[in-house]
Chains A and B, each alone.
Chain A
Amino acid sequence: MAGTARVATESTARDVPALHVVNLSKRFGGVAAVANLNLTVRRGITHCIIGPNGAGKSTFFDLVTNVQPATSGEVYFFGEPITGLPQYRRAALGIARKFQAPTLFPELTVAENLYMGKVGHLGWTSLLRRRDIPAADDQVGLMLEQLRLAGESGSRAADLSHGQQQWLEIGVALMARPRLLLLDEPTAGMSLRETAATADLLGALTGDTTTVIVEHDLSFVRRIADVITVMHRGESVAEGRPDEIAQNALVRDVYLGRKSL
């Protein structure tokens, strides 16, 4: 009996989604940017959110990270309610976000930015006990290799190309070994070649980190997504595997304006 109960508990724990939002809303005056959104992200997958401009995708990220407070609704992170927690506490729990606009520290070096991703969420007391120095950190070195930025480790982040900065930000977000990675338009402003390289990079880097990506570029989304949610006017209007979404008539009408996916 005891054994059965234990197995049941474990399977329940495995089924707890990485992120679960219930009736989440954000209103600006009379306008609802996010309206009664219900969304579940299973752990270990890459979940893409698509939708036209103004669909509420970035606002959704703001609510998950609490850059803006939700008007109403609940947010659960691995089953724990985190609705009222401030931004820095959520980061410490393991929610990492790459913003649409670059949020690197421009005057710090590439290696220092990565190191910030590793130690930023640690408390002051644990930092005082650390003896390692940023330049000689193994995890930083490995990430520099994976990002193909090893040669730029001492350059200021501001001196990197646009594409390199975007990759560095993804690397920074991953340095904290987050339990949930949120990427806001990781290919914005990239050339076709850079976009393709980003897809490869993400596949290799994220591994089984649960990743939620907001993106416009549909060919990119189809390459990397396990699940796609389509948002429209703050609501989720469709959800499924990439092939299901591609064949969904409603999605084609509402979102794509009859353009083929």
Chain B
Amino acid sequence: MSRSHGRGWRMALGAVVMFAVLVAPASAASPASAAETTGPSETFRVDVPSAPGSAATISLDVDLYLPATSRPAPAVLLAHGFGGSKRSVAKDAERMRREGYVVMAYSARGFGRSGGRISLDSLDYEVADAKRLVDVLASRPEVETRDGDPVIGVVGASYGGALALILGATDPRIVTVVAAITWNDLAQALVPQSAAADGAAPAPGVFKQAWATQLFGAAASPFYGACGRFTAELCTLYTKLVGGGQLDAADRTLLEASSPASVLSGMTAPTLLLQGRQDTLFGLDQSDANERAITAAGAPVTVSWFAGGHDGGQTAGTDGVVDKWLFAHLRGRSPRHASSEPFSFTVPTSARGFAETRVAARYPGLDGGSLRTLPLNGRFGIVVNPPGGLPATISSLPGIGAVDSVIGGTGGSGSGIAGPIAQPAQQAKFATGSISTPFVLAGSPTVTVDVRLPRFRGEVRDSSRSGAPVEVLLFAQLRVSSGDSDIAVGGGVAPMRVSLPADGSATRVRLTLPATTWRFERGDKIALSLRTTDAGYQGSATSATFVVNTEGALSLPTVASADPAVGGGAPSAAALIGIPMVLLLGLMLAAIAAIADRRRDHPGPVAGPPAGRPDDAPPLAIRGLTKTYGAGFRAVDDLSFTVQQGQVLGLLGPNGAGKTTALRMVTGLLRPDAGEIEIFGEKVSPGSRVLTRVGCFIEGPGFLPHLSGRRNLQLFWAASGRPRADARLAEALDIADLGSAVNRRVGGYSQGMKQRLAIAQAMLGMPELLILDEPTNGLDPPQIFALRGVLRRYAETGRTVIVSSHLLGEVEQTCSDVVVMARGRLLAAGPVAELAGESSELTIEVTDVEAALHAVHRLDGAEALMTAPGTIRVLPAGNGPEAVVAAITENGIGIRSVTRGRHLEETFLEMVGTEGII
């Protein structure tokens, strides 16, 4: 639990750190890491006695793989397969080192660069060597100890698997054993007998010649002779078997020393038995015998029948299972992923089903959890053993497996490569009817068979006519035909040696077929094929003809597999706690944001007058507004002004004066660095509710280009959440004056059309304060004229309009009031009339300024002043322009030009300074 908690926090912390790493674009450097080391950490030789009690020694070639951690780690002794050496397990050793184990790989005696001769995992030789290696491991400081004992497991496949079992059963220091595709009883494995005669002692078996020659015969070398590096005893035994001899008691004793069967009663270490489904050398019966012995000894054992074996795949695909097992049993921790099952088995692909792995809560043995019994048709068959047992039926090839899968032939039909697979005269076949309900076979099918010599009219026709019992060989195979295909079930055949009485009476044997798994589908027919020859086994040279009969029923074991949907790994406690915590934190943050928004929308009694605003609050009041952009550029500098109700205020300034920045702050788009903005007496911050009363058009239009102008305005208004009737959409669209274009997509609009649509959008709902930033850009003169009328009438209703512009004439003709800005500062503010004078002003160029001024001053109320050399400005005050002109010309002063109108431009240029306008 505490470990899980720690993991959860590390997960959270890790996520934060990772977040920072991923977001920061600069942090690309990868953390320094220990380089992955390859190859053994140490290579040395260990001297062991060449024979029990002998003073002479041989030396073993050993590789030690040390993990990167400095702490002591559990150790794994890794034993190689037959014909291999420490090199052949290097990959596994490196994988286990990565998993954090100290791994010792070595070449067994008689292999690789180790000395000595092969004794086939003999208790006195190879196993004694392994014990010596365990001593070495136990003395190493890198190996973890628990309660003073070293933590050492042993792992091996095939030849190494048997060593692992024997070592595990005889050395109490071994904590756990993993044994793959190996044997239980070497005599039984090499000279098997699948038939049990009723009440009689088991007949001798049949020599598995093809495999034996692969192993023994291949050892021949010019340096070591015909038997290679085998010991002399084994060489003699092999020679005898190949010559057709039978095992005697001494031979059996020799093989017993190499068989786990003889020592497994002492096993205490938890054991993982991996046995391949495709294995005609060491079939599932061998692991079954191992399982029964270990269970009887009281040690926990797990069995897995995986898709592999000596005939296909070897131990490929079992790494994960082995790693999980070692993790659980060497580190003493339960595996993170799904707890391992006591029994799992794979079912091969069938005609209609896919390959699958099934699990069961209990290993049921080869008899299965339950039996399905199917009657066999065909009462008897006559089979012939040809002279010399040749040609032999080829059922499987060592290392390759069932020929059906290799050649792809259908049973009985010839093939160019391997000749006829089954000679018709050598075979008797008994088939079941079509299967009605699909089922999965898992285990050894059994059937009772009667074998006898043929009788003709009560007369036994014995080919030898000696009167002595005749020994015959039979090889049984289970086949399945579905549709056109007829293939072997599993790879193996069951060999049996049966003694037939000369009088023609039947010998009844109980035949156990090789254990395998198979899925039978509806419509499949299962057949029992009994043959007299098999290329994998030593045949009988004596020709014979005999009759086989089945007792009538085939028993097929099935296993009730555990429901595959349940179980699996549970979420870590950290995740279970972490997920709701993160969600809760998220909710809390959301609540904080919601509260902040509510505060802004309902400022409460402190921030302003309660409920209703004072009606006299100005539509806009700005005090000390300042905004500095990133590079220190002060766009708006201490700007203050107030806009009164009913005004059309012109915000005038050259480009870059800060007009747009100021308006963006007014509408809450930018955050001012200093200063205050109040609209109708309410302070403005991003998203302030009071902005509902403001309509704005700032720095260019923005629409969804794929929608029509009308749809854009509809959606815009809908987004405000106010009633549709308040929008006054028709009026706004009339102002935009887009004609039929209003129903076309905005993407096709001209700049001016977009501009007008944007102004219409700002006027939706006829807001009390209308802010238009450079509204006349891109408009035609007639449209500008129309807009002026609209804005004037808009203000007449008590609403307020703010128009920014860099054009004097624009402001002069549209606005009642003006605020002049340049370089972010306020230059002047007031009614247009005050700043720009009356529209009746006259600017006159005269020949004599002094005289002209005198002449004008004589007029009633008129004022005049010189504005430039040769130019005077006259405020006529009720006098018509003609009167002023007359008064000047009367005195003989010449007039070069007369202009009537305001002088805003002049004022503006004075205030802004010439450098402000290029």
Real complex partners, A and B?
no
Q: Which residues of B line the A interface, CB within 8 A?
A: none
